[in-house]
Structure 1
């Protein structure tokens, strides 16, 4: 696996990305990471190879009242049209085979993986993880939200859909309230980055 192929898989580990974004001039800003570095022809060749290899698939956004489109294969002409914005709304993501290929080079420790996001209620935050103690420690020491003490509501998930392509036999979700006006200390970004690290990037300098 070369660096460009790794980038195209790694960027969709936790969520799908619209195909047309891949040719945006502001891709770095949109994804908050350096871009893939491929010119349009090289990008098309790489995406075509990943689709044909069964490592990625594509889907349209889920519409109200349906269950969404299952991931589908795109032919080269469809990939090209979508990349250039002639077929909008199509996103791509990893298949289970692509996930296994990514895992083979990154050696992820799923016990360290944490999924933190705003809850359904705007005054709530959710944190999910395989290791209950790690989820609890995250809330106590590392979350960037001002959590209301004593507001934790725990739930065991069997199985746990850790990402859209990865299912783990067990996981935990905790929902907490947060204080919008509460002061928060300035985060130690280096420590936070080490804390949330759960896999290796073989191309890190």
Structure 2
């Protein structure tokens, strides 16, 4: 299957999370979606691309509050792009299908052994790290200990478990993974340490480079 750079941008944008359609029309779409660049498409061209990806069953566009309500045609997608506020259940989102995930993998060549999913909750004050192995999760935990962010891990609270299978993302399932949880308390933000810390190594080849 042949995909152009616009197709690949739209696939990469939803590798980890489904994305509300209206975010694709924002003036700072690259910043909003943490992408290297924006897609550079007009609203009309964007609709054409979304319709083409949907027709090839690489993405699925549906209402956030009811996955049975889908948009496939250009006319449906035009309405979907303009429908719903930020947190409204009427807004439409798009996501990869398993076929779309496979197509993205073909081009991006991800190394799932290096993929990390980490998030902090405030109520309760817990961090959850998921990775392909205990070693990878522990390495990420050590990064958190060294980090200058506002969340200081409490080592005595650390608890791990093996996941079989592991839902690495909403579309990618691997035979096994590892989940590590820990409680945290607030600490002083150290901006210098954050800025001087090396970023984690990329786990896939980004297809959304600057034009």
Sort the TM-score into its range (normalised by shorter chain): 0.7 to 0.9
CA contact (8 A) 1:146 1:183 kept: no
Per the TM alignment, residue 3 of structure 1 is displaced from its structure 2 partner at its CA by 1.6
Bigger drift between 120-129 and 15-24 goes to 120-129
2:205 is the counterpart of 1:200: yes
Instruction: Within 5 Å, give how 1:29-178 maps onto structure 2.
Output: 29-33=31-35, 34-62=37-65, 69=67, 72=70, 74-85=72-83, 88-119=90-121, 121-142=123-144, 144=149, 145-178=151-184
Q: CA RMSD in A?
A: 2.4
- Give structure 2 stretches of 5+ with no counterpart: none
Partners of 2:161 and 2:98 lie apart in 1 by 26
CA gap 1:107/1:35 in 2 versus in 1, 3 angstroms: same
CA gap 1:203/1:16 in 2 versus in 1, 3 angstroms: closer
CA contact (8 A) 2:9 2:207 kept: no
Aligned length: 198
CA contact (8 A) 1:147 1:179 kept: yes
Does the residue aligned with 2:127 lie in a helix, a strand or coil? strand
Question: For residues 163-197 of structure 1, what are the alpha-carbon distances to aligned partners after superposition, in whole Å with 9 as ceiling and x for unaligned?
Answer: 11111111111110112135657125662242xx1
- Give structure 1 stretches of 5+ with no counterpart: 63-67
Bigger drift between 80-89 and 33-42 goes to 80-89
Question: For residues 40-76 of structure 1, what are the alpha-carbon distances to aligned partners after superposition, in whole Å with 9 as ceiling and x for unaligned?
Answer: 12111111100000000023234xxxxx636845222
Per the TM alignment, residue 150 of structure 1 is displaced from its structure 2 partner at its CA by 2.4
Identify the residue that residue 8 of structure 2 maps to in structure 1.
Answer: 6
2:193 is the counterpart of 1:186: yes
Bigger proportion of residues as strand: 2
Per the TM alignment, residue 116 of structure 1 is displaced from its structure 2 partner at its CA by 0.2
TM-score, normalised with respect to structure 2:
0.83
